[in-house]
Amino acid sequence: MSCLFIFFIGFGIVFLFFHSQRRGLSFIEKLALSMGVGISVVIILGSVVF
Amino acid sequence: MIALFVFAYYLFTRLWMLLNYGAAGMGYDIGIYHYQIQKYFEQIGQSVVPFGFSNFSNMLMLLGDSAEIIMFVWYVALSVLIFVLLYLVVRNYFASKQAAIWALILFSISITQFEFFWWYYYRNFLAVALFLLFLLLYHYRSYLIILPLAAIGIIHPLSLAPIGLGMLIYCFLVDRSERIFILASGFVSALLVLVFNSNEVLIYLQELWHYHGLTANFILAGRPNMSGEFVTIPMWLGLSILYAPFGVYGIWIFRKSQKMFVCLFLSNLVLIFLGFALSKRFIIFVDLILIIFSAPVWYAIAQKIKKYDWAHLLLLLFFLITSAFSLFLVVLKLPMIQPFDLAVIKNIPNYAVDSEYIFTDSSHYAPWLQGYSGKKVIAPGMFDNDKWSRGQWLEFAKSSSAQQCEMLKSLHISPLYVFSGHINHVTGDCFIKLNNYLLKAGI
């Protein structure tokens, strides 16, 4: 559940940034970038919330 | 096909200890993380000083994960993410899928990387994943690099030191537009870290100032944990013989096209040799960069000997033997405590119902007790309930059993339970033996 949440946060951000710049990313790249960015956002959010 | 095989090998080495021994199969930091993650409800509404990791674990708890899922499922998932990110970093920077696969092979059989995983330095492990993400995003010159940099600063501020230093040096080697990109991203990341994790950063800054940032000074003050407590440099050099020389050669070859890596490599190296606080943990970044740079070198070697069947076969045989040897070391590794010891620790609340404290003079068992006993742990120089100075602990260790009883009486905790593991020395007459591990002080 949390994994999906984090993935979609990351995917949203990566999509916004990379799609606007028309960069072709492979499937595995999208997946890894989404998870990584999602985890980064969750950590920053955690420092805001707690 | 090869990548899948390497992935299976990698996953097996990462899961072996966990599947075989459970939580007892990992390094003793697991106890400290278990304790911190469980404190989630206590930490709501208050700052989580000084452990930035809670910003990650608390959010996962908020999203419904259990402590076990955060500790094991997420930890293994992170190791998979590191594996994938490493592949992408090498593939993008060296524009070669084959070099990326060589990097995965070297990474999977690296005992240094396995040890780092096994010791369960969770937040440092997260920092490594975020470091690779930073490298990948930097390749795209995306301002998203702000996110992993800020996250590293929140999770593990000291991991940001070599990255910050390396990027600062790199600024002098690039053109104006790239310099602005680096400085702007760095500035925003630093600002985010200072705003959202100021408490922890200030504590670190005060300590670094007080001890001049040197590991040696921390050790003299009785805080050996600030060395980073990882493999020693000679041991690391021995373990990385398969890729370190090739990595150095790779750095030399690519020194002009991959200046950023060179700066990051040198900044880590300088901090290690200066003995900066937690510098042993920077070994893992150096190790990773050496793996990244040795990959294209190994690939070039494989290409050069391609026409000679015997040499190709020899190379294959060499890597098969090395992988088998690495696997052998992983499979034969013994846990720091046995699963039965951990089961006894988890059972302590059933015995020690009338006291909230547990005493141990063993720093070996202390983290496990902290994480799994449900009691406040009195242990040498560790945690919040440390009652004695370093000198008093040393005096306790040298004292006779009668003197030890007297010293325990001075704690004014009655009844006092003592965890007596295999390497515990407390044997005084004032104790009643509850089982082979647990004593109760009749004071």
Residue of A6, A20, A50 to mutate for B, most B C-beta atoms under 10 A: A50
Does residue B211 sit in helix, strand or coil?
A: coil
What does the mean pLDDT of chain B come to? 87
Q: What is the pLDDT of residue B98?
A: 93
Does B85 touch chain A if contact means CB atoms closer than 8 Å? yes
Using the Cβ of B308 and the Cβ atoms of chain A, whether some distance falls under 8 Å is answered with no
Does residue B216 carry a pLDDT above 70? yes
Residues in A closer than 8 angstroms to B148, CB to CB, are 36-37, 40
In our burial notation (b when 16+ CB lie closer than 10 A, e otherwise), range B8-47 reads ebbeebbebbbeebebbbbbbbbbbbbbbbebbeebeeee
Structure tokens at B312: 């190709």
Q: Is A46 on the interface with B (CB under 8 A)?
A: yes
R_g over Cα of chain B: 24
pLDDT of residue B111: 94
Q: What is the mean pLDDT of residues A19-33?
A: 79
pLDDT in tens, B346-387: 888 887 777 778 888 777 888 888 888 888 888 877 777 777
Q: pLDDT tens, B150-191?
A: 999 999 988 999 999 999 999 999 999 999 999 999 999 999
Do the beta carbons of residue B143 and residue B183 sit within 8 Å? Answer: no
Region at B374 (left for phi over 0; alpha for psi -120 to 50; beta for the rest): left
Does residue A2 sit at the B interface (CB-CB below 8 Å)? yes
The DSSP bridge partners found for residue B438 are B419
Q: What integer pLDDT is reported at residue B426 of this predicted model? A: 61
**Among B88, B159, B151, B164, CA closest to B121:** B159
Model pLDDT, residue B311: 86
The pLDDT of residue B276 is above 80: yes
pTM of the model: 0.91
Q: Check residues B409 and B276 and name the one with the higher pLDDT.
A: B276
| Percent of chain B at pLDDT exceeding 70 | 95
